[in-house]
Copies of this chain bind each other. A is one copy, B any other.
Amino acid sequence: MSHTFYDGQEKLLVATDCIIFGFDDNTIKLLLFERKVDPLAGEWSLIGSFVRAKEDASHAAARVLEEYTGLQNVYMEELGCFGEAGRDPGARVLSIAYSALIRIGEYDVDLVERHGAKWFDYDQIPSLVLDHNKMVDIAIQKLRRKAKYQPLGFALLPEKFTIPQLQILYECIYQRPLDKRNFRRKILSMNILEKLDEKDKLGSKKGAFLYKFDPEKYHSLAQKGILFEI
């Protein structure tokens, strides 16, 4: 292919930015980083990375997530393209935003600290560089919307969790209290949880049964398209 219509076309810097959600202390949190490079060094920012010429875009997002948190195989989802010509005053950079759900407690604390990161409550996000606040807003909206139709949120909890913990998570996402009887009935009726014999005694004296998420049943359900309004 000596010369093709590709020749002479303008190329762009392409980045990924990653909105990292976690759940701890009964609140949803976002992991933000202090930007190290000029312009805007020292300000809060999402983590991002340029997409390399021989790298899938999604790989760039996963690569930087691992670099900053030590985590692999994280649940990530594309949020969309931020492609305005003037969005980055430093250069023309098109960015693909991804959102990731991680289990707080599984990431590499040292590594994260070394990168100048901090968890923020998701209703107390500081001012971020570029259009990152817009990305975060869209990610939160999407999380809320999606939670209605898919039992995500499992990606935010530890492997074993109790029904009350799961309920608190959903209450955070929806920002409203849920009835515990209805919640329990609804979740259990989906048949995607496996009840364990252990109890978690940290949350109460009586102790609550631990459950784990049955990936097989979940996937078969997810493919049929779930209706999951809580």
Q: Which A residues have a C-beta under 8 Å from some C-beta of B?
A: 1, 4-6, 9-14, 37-39, 50-58, 78, 80-81, 83-85, 90-94, 96
8 Å CB contact of A83 from B4, B10, B96: B96
From known contacts A4-B90, A6-B93, A90-B1, infer whether A12 and B51 are also in contact, taking CB-CB under 8 Å: yes
A173 CB to closest chain B CB (Å) equals: 15
Q: Which of B54, B84, B90, B94 contacts A14 (CB 8 A)?
A: B94
CA distance A111 to B184 in the complex (A): 59
List residues of chain B with CB within 8 A of the CB of A37: 4-5
Instruction: Choose from B11, B39, B57 the contact partner of A13 (Cβ within 8 Å).
Output: B11
Q: Which of A11, A58, A81 has the most CB of B within 10 A?
A: A81
Task: Using A51-B83, A92-B53 as known contacts, say yes or no to A9 and B13 having CB atoms under 8 A apart.
Answer: yes
Instruction: List 22 contacting pairs A-B, 8 Å CB cutoff, sorted by A.
Output: A1-B38, A1-B90, A9-B13, A9-B50, A10-B51, A11-B12, A11-B13, A11-B14, A12-B14, A53-B85, A53-B92, A54-B85, A54-B92, A56-B84, A57-B81, A57-B83, A57-B84, A78-B80, A78-B81, A80-B80, A80-B81, A81-B96
